[in-house]
Amino acid sequence: MEWPSVREFLGIPAHLTGKDIAIAVIDGHFPPHPDITTNDRRYTYLVKTVSTDVKPLIFHAEKEPWRNSHGLMTAAAAAGSGSLSSGYYSGAAPEADLYLLETGAFTTVEETESKFVMALRWLLKNWRRYNIRAVVLTVAYTIDTGLLPWQVDPIKVHCEQLAKEGLLIIVASGNTKELTCSGPASSPSVLSIGGVIVPQHLHEMSPYHGCQGITFEGKRIPELLAPAENIILPSPFKSAEEFEKHYTAKFDNLPDGYARTEGTSYAAPIILGCAACIWQANPEWTASQVKTAMVSTAEYKAEWYEAEAGLVHVKAAAMYPVQSLTHTYNPQKLDDSTAARRERDMISNILSSYNETNSRVSTDKLKSLMIHSVSPKVRAAALLAASSEITYIELKDLLRESSSHIKMAVLYTLHHRKDLWNDSIHYVIDLCKDEDLNIQYCAIKLASTIGDSIFLKPLINGLLEDAVQLRVSIFGARCDALQLLTGITYELEPEFQDGQCWYSERSTESRVNMALKWQQYIEK
């Protein structure tokens, strides 16, 4: 079975390769694979952002074995050379210069936040020095799922700083249907990327099962689409057995060392590569102009209406009329009424000094707004700003609120206030079955952090419904929490294979079987 390359599928003109355009990819690890290292057509630099002496070093290829990693595939999707496929299965911009910002491994939300902030700070100091035009982040972490203001998230704060300075920030929106977004895609100034499924016949092209929704600031997720399933990327197999266990590789007629994969983690770097191609044709354009050109020329299909985003069209974007670029793309469909502007100004004022000692708004004023403001978003912002100072009695008035923004602000507050956990446990249990799946997900994550056995039964009771309803991220969060609470790990049956879609029948069967095992556990 044969599959098109990224460039062929998107119809990227042969002369647009990202030549002489520098782009950056942030990820945990980059192996010295020939597809992403320096060659005779471009330079690649490795930047270990957690080291004490952070300098870009020329990154040369080394002999296999190469470690198969998320970073290898994200970098290859953006600018892989396709060297092991005679150049065919290259990334979107095979001649772009690459800066690979390696954070090292990360396992917790806190560790992810710390290491990605270090990488973004390096960019803040150095992107102009090295003439880096754009960066992609594909991290999935869960401070929230887009329902809180960007000012409370250090990664989003740094993204906004970089975007304001003129760097194009591209972020994967996430791979599950039930959440608004995953990671920093909700940050107002970043370009959030969803996906389409690459078909064997173009007329059958369909949308990918990614995150979508409206953020706290009113931005719709995603804003632009790229290939997110049936993407051919480097996949070094360590053995024949590993090859045979791959979900698709043994059925495809692909060059050795390549396989189909999926995820907005690869759609987003494809957009990064597309941006490099557009800059090659229009080197004088700003980040805002490139973003405007890509979104304005994207191809829309009726069956993608729910996502309200179009597929990137590099040729059309590169030829976008310069006079049209005076009207820059604005992702937020803002209500321009006096009341709406006043609400936005109030929230901005409340959060302008977030995490600083001297806030512009007094704690007493924040507490008053938290209870008495007619705007749920203002109340949520006031709670976040006062979260270190409030008592349970003051918080209690908000526990009956129906607004998802307020509920998410309460969950965020509780995550950082262990002293409030005992009084709030039953509230968290209720939110684990909230009608808003974003709230369910983050409540389950908090239950996992609290670690009380009282959560066992509520967590298990929701598993089977999540499995049947294909709530992939919520099901996974429940299982993670149960493993932490009990120390028990059940294996998936049938086992998960690399390249397998989480929404496939095989995956659903595995989740149903897992749910039944946990039900047996609770019934003992």
Q: Report residue 150's pLDDT band, with 50, 70 and 90 as the boundaries.
A: very high
pLDDT of residue 358: 52
Residue, of 404 and 331, whose pLDDT is higher: 404
pLDDT of residue 190: 98
Backbone angles phi, psi at 454, to 5 degrees: -60, -20
Q: Mind listing the pLDDT tens digit for each residue in 251-303?
A: 999 999 999 999 999 999 999 999 999 999 999 999 999 999 999 999 998 77
Task: Check 5, 81, 85, 265 and give the catalytic one.
Answer: 265
Percent of the chain with pLDDT over 90: 86
| CA-based nearest residue to 279, from 166, 370, 374 | 166
Percent of the chain with pLDDT over 70: 96
Residues in a beta bridge with 22? 97, 132
Q: Report residue 243's pLDDT band, with 50, 70 and 90 as the boundaries.
A: very high
Q: Are 83 and 97 in contact (CB under 8 A)?
A: no
pLDDT of residue 353: 75
Residue, of 142 and 372, whose pLDDT is higher: 372
Asked if pLDDT for residue 89 goes beyond 70, the answer is yes
pLDDT of residue 306: 67
What gap in Å lies between CA 221 and CA 175, rounded to an integer?
12
What gap in Å lies between CA 279 and CA 414, rounded to an integer?
45
Task: Return the sign of the alpha-carbon dihedral for residues 279, 282, 284, 288.
Answer: negative
pTM of the entire structure?
A: 0.97
Residue reference for tokens 């004023």: 365
Q: Report residue 1's pLDDT band, with 50, 70 and 90 as the boundaries.
A: low
Amino acid type, 33:
H
Q: What is the mean pLDDT of residues 43-71?
A: 93
Told to judge if 426 belongs to the known catalytic residues of this protein, a careful annotator would answer no
Q: Report residue 52's pLDDT band, with 50, 70 and 90 as the boundaries.
A: confident
Q: Report residue 339's pLDDT band, with 50, 70 and 90 as the boundaries.
A: confident
What are the angstrom distances between the C-alpha of 494 and each of 155, 284, 423? 37, 53, 41
Task: Check 27, 144, 153, 466 and give the catalytic one.
Answer: 27
Q: Report residue 361's pLDDT band, with 50, 70 and 90 as the boundaries.
A: confident
Asked if pLDDT for residue 201 goes beyond 80, the answer is no
pLDDT of residue 131: 98
The SS3 of residue 324 is helix
Q: Are 43 and 261 in contact (CB under 8 A)?
A: no
Told to judge if 27 belongs to the known catalytic residues of this protein, a careful annotator would answer yes
The SS3 of residue 449 is helix
Q: What is the mean pLDDT of residues 77-89?
A: 97
| CA-based nearest residue to 15, from 94, 131, 86, 97 | 94
Task: Check 20, 29, 69, 70 and give the catalytic one.
Answer: 70
Asked if pLDDT for residue 341 goes beyond 70, the answer is yes
Told to judge if 158 belongs to the known catalytic residues of this protein, a careful annotator would answer no
Residue, of 139 and 101, whose pLDDT is higher: 101
Q: What is the mean pLDDT of residues 403-411?
A: 98
Give the mean pLDDT of the chain.
Answer: 94
pLDDT of residue 524: 80
